[in-house]
Amino acid sequence: MGSMTLKGLAVMAALALAACSSNRPPLHHQDFLYSAVGTSGVLGVGAFPLANGYSFRVRSELQDQGRSVALFQIGIPGANTDIIADAVEKAARHGLDAELATVWVGGNDLINGVPLETFAAELNGLLTALQDQMGAYVVIANLPALQALPDFVSEPVPEVTEQRVLQFNAVISAQAATRGIPVVDLSNDAVVEHLVVDFDGLHPDEDGHERLANLFMKAIRPVL
């Protein structure tokens, strides 16, 4: 955890104790709602057409198994986790019940310099809304090696460091373990090679979206 403070560790421990719910049982229903949660990648940004994005690919594979799957995207371009969590909480209050949810958040928080303890609290709120309010079976992805992206190598940003990526991923792993949530590990995955879309150098290209979909499905298949 590097230079994380004792206060930070205490905050994470308190959140872990508070988050005592576990992921719901395996998905045996033929018809269900799948909610993809995150930023613009959820919407397919970087893939052409957008319908080749990873959340659409996950739905398509589920449908290829003979299931009727509705996709509800909560993807907010440029958003930190607090905004995404607020959107999920509002959807839950309005009666959205998703049997399955994929989550990929934290990249904007890291780049924007959000403190680790703040991200931990916001992620806890997001996962609580998905599990406890919506009743979803959740699969979460962690962060790839953002510091290795060409843009950050050529023009380093103080907030985008290997240590910060490791710390954010430790928060994701700790909360996922407490809640029984499978983690799609992107930290050492080739997906970082596909975060190279020309217009910003951050979003997955089409091959990256395909890779993400395959990794999410690898975590989802055992509970179908």
List the Cα angle 196/201/202 in 5-degree steps. Answer: 90
Q: How would you write the pLDDT of the chain (224 residues) with one tens digit per residue?
A: 444 443 444 444 444 444 445 677 678 778 899 999 999 999 999 898 999 999 999 999 999 998 999 999 999 999 999 999 999 999 999 999 999 999 999 999 999 999 999 999 999 999 999 999 999 999 999 999 999 888 888 889 999 999 999 999 999 999 999 999 999 999 886 666 776 555 566 788 888 899 999 999 999 999 98
Of the candidates 47, 21, 58, the one whose C-alpha atom is nearest the C-alpha of residue 215 is: 58
DSSP string of 109-152?
A: HHHTT--HHHHHHHHHHHHHIIIIIS--EEEEE----GGGSHHH
